[in-house]
Amino acid sequence: MPRASWNGTVIAESNRCIVVEGNQYFPPETVNHDFLRASKTHTLCAWKGMASYYDVVVNDESIKDAAWYYPQTKAEAQHIKGYIAFWKGVKVEI
């Protein structure tokens, strides 16, 4: 089952992830939002839409913009709307 962890703490775990471009997108209800802090960062993907980011915070340490999601998507990416993916040192194991 895919699991995202950082600093020895599991942030997300689900057997209902969706893989897009090699990234595991976790259903939002399977992510522990206690470890996420909203970021002001946004980026644009040509086919998915505008991404929003979270900083990941564990034990008073943080990684800026280490999680992202699409609150609204283009038609081709509707299946990952609201799902959360990780990078920048967050370990995603399958």
Closest CA to 51 of 13, 91, 23: 23
Split at pLDDT 50, 70, 90, the class of 41 is very high
Split at pLDDT 50, 70, 90, the class of 50 is very high
Segments forming the whole domain that contains residue 30: 3-93
Q: What is the pLDDT of residue 85?
A: 98
As beta bridge partners, residue 10 has 5
Split at pLDDT 50, 70, 90, the class of 3 is very high
7 DSSP 8-state letter: T
> What's the rounded mean pLDDT across residues 12-38?
98
CATH of the domain at 49: 2.170.150.40
What are the E-state strand segments in the chain? 3-6, 9-13, 18-20, 23-25, 36-45, 49-58, 61-69, 84-86, 91-93
| Residue that is written with structure tokens 């990780």 in the block | 86
Q: What is the pLDDT of residue 79?
A: 98
